[in-house]
Amino acid sequence: MRIQTGRGTIPLITLIGIWSISALNALPGLAVSPILGKLSVIFPHSTELDVQMLSSLPSLLIIPFILLAGKLTERVNIIRLLQVGLGIFALSGILYLFSNKMWQLIAISAMLGVGSGMIVPLSTGLISKYFVGTYRVKQFGLSSAITNITLVIATVVTGYLAEVNWHLPFVVYLLPLVSLVLSVYLQRSMISEGGSVSMTNKEDAEKQDTEINAEIGNNKNGINIKHLVGVMLFYGLATYLALIITFNLPFLMKEYHFTSGNSGVMISLFFLAIMAPGFFLNQIVKLCGNKTKFYSLLSIACGLFLIWISSKEWMIAPGCILVGLGYGVIQPIIYDKTTHTAIPKKVTLALAFVMMMNYLAILLCPFIMDFFQSTVFHIKSQQFAFVFNLCITLVALVWAYTKRNTFLFDDKA
């Protein structure tokens, strides 16, 4: 079976290989979460700094290696680079299973960040390589959906495995072995197709590439820096706005006297909502046009408002869903928008810069919120985070509406 790409076809096994890489984007740090509360018992001599490094080191190292991998794709075979990243990722998973000292876990976490950082931009880079037009938008949507459904499933699985043995959650880090096997088919596909997809519509593909190049102009870097920076800033902002659910909702629900299980359900609904738009992304963009990001931000604003005004689960749940739906639309269309900021040879590098913003937002979100809550406004209520982000979202709404006809916000299919 072969899959339409908008400029030809590729084997189904090639697409499955690309999807498997998308699934890995959700894994870094996931296996550590269920055992964070047990680390002081497992390692009685570990310090608070040790625990913080164990959970934050992968994200910290992912950032520079995302950029490195994006740059290397200009000179190194993308499949070879992918296989190296997958190998490092899988090796860290194996070593985790046999580690029994805190320093070993920290060192392996650094290795995990390196491997994960190398493959993150390649997941979207391969989509941009094989697909064009609405086919590419659809695949970015499916890629985002796969990432988030993997996150939900893996979170549940690791939670149960942690109850059996603290080593077992690290089994999820062996999933790159599946992608490593599938990368062989990716490599064969590229060789058999002459390093590209089967071009049944080659003239259209060349026309599309020419149009992209015309948009970029004669920029010597092959990237429209102004457009790329705009996409990066908007993606970083949207990610920061949505992260408030995972970082602050558990504390808010604790203030409302709910259990951690209740907050876990709400966060699961949030990630499932992020997943959902990926299956209908082309239809959403076609319907909303140049107001797609405006309506997505409006959904986030409504969600934050519902969470703020009520301490009831029946209000918090739809609030989480609305925030997830808004971000679930923004994430894949931002990836697609990024492909229009660079010539084909530079697209993976451009995507690397944009995807870096996701991890940068994850690292900075707690510090930004703490700065404004504790230092600037001196407010202790857990509701502050949601009110603060709601205000930012309302400002972003005005920005998205007034600039709806500009490159960044015009998503007309």
Asked if 387 contacts 308 with a C-beta cutoff of 8 angstroms, the reply is yes
Give the tens place of pLDDT for each residue, 224-234: 999 999 999 99
Q: Which residues of 254-279 are buried (b: 16+ CB within 10 A; e: fewer)?
A: eebebeeebbbbbbebbbbbbbbbbe
State residue 200's pLDDT score. Answer: 41
Q: How high does pLDDT run on average in the chain?
A: 87
State residue 402's pLDDT score. Answer: 96
Could you tell me the two tokens for 55?
């959970």
Q: Tell me how far CA of residue 101 lies from CA of 31, 60, 176, 413, in angstroms.
A: 16, 21, 24, 53
Give the tens place of pLDDT for each residue, 102-153: 899 999 999 999 999 999 999 899 999 889 999 999 999 999 999 989 888 8
Mean pLDDT value across residues 230-253: 92
Confidence of residue 49 (pLDDT cuts 50, 70, 90): confident
Tell me 9's DSSP state.
E
With 50 as the cut, is the pLDDT of residue 196 above it? no
> Bigger pLDDT: 409 or 208?
409
Instruction: Report the 10 Å Cβ neighbour count for 91.
Output: 17
pTM of the predicted model as reported, rounded to 2 decimal places: 0.89
Give the tens place of pLDDT for each residue, 298-314: 999 999 999 999 888 88
The C-alpha atoms of residue 97 and residue 173 are separated, in whole angstroms, by: 10
State residue 231's pLDDT score. Answer: 96
With 90 as the cut, is the pLDDT of residue 293 above it? yes
> Bigger pLDDT: 408 or 52?
408
State residue 7's pLDDT score. Answer: 78
Helix, strand, or coil here: 2?
strand
State residue 346's pLDDT score. Answer: 92
State residue 215's pLDDT score. Answer: 55
User: Can you name the residues that pair with 3 across neighbouring β-strands?
Assistant: 10
State residue 353's pLDDT score. Answer: 96
Given CA atoms 106, 175, 361, 336 in this order, what sign does their dihedral have? positive
With 50 as the cut, is the pLDDT of residue 169 above it? yes
Q: Of 86-95, 113-122, 213-222, 349-358, where does mean pLDDT reach its minimum?
A: 213-222
With 90 as the cut, is the pLDDT of residue 273 above it? yes
State residue 204's pLDDT score. Answer: 47
Asked if 350 contacts 228 with a C-beta cutoff of 8 angstroms, the reply is yes
Confidence of residue 370 (pLDDT cuts 50, 70, 90): confident
Confidence of residue 214 (pLDDT cuts 50, 70, 90): low
Show the domains of the chain with their CATH numbers.
2-200 (1.20.1250.20), 225-402 (1.20.1250.20)
With 70 as the cut, is the pLDDT of residue 154 above it? yes
Mean pLDDT value across residues 145-171: 88
Confidence of residue 219 (pLDDT cuts 50, 70, 90): low
Confidence of residue 205 (pLDDT cuts 50, 70, 90): very low
State residue 117's pLDDT score. Answer: 94
Percentage of the chain lying above the pLDDT 90 cut: 55
Mean pLDDT value across residues 343-354: 93
Give the tens place of pLDDT for each residue, 15-29: 999 999 999 988 887
State residue 206's pLDDT score. Answer: 44
With 90 as the cut, is the pLDDT of residue 194 above it? no
Mean pLDDT value across residues 266-271: 90
Residue 64 backbone class (left: φ over 0; alpha: ψ -120 to 50; beta: rest): alpha
With 70 as the cut, is the pLDDT of residue 325 above it? yes
Helix, strand, or coil here: 3?
strand
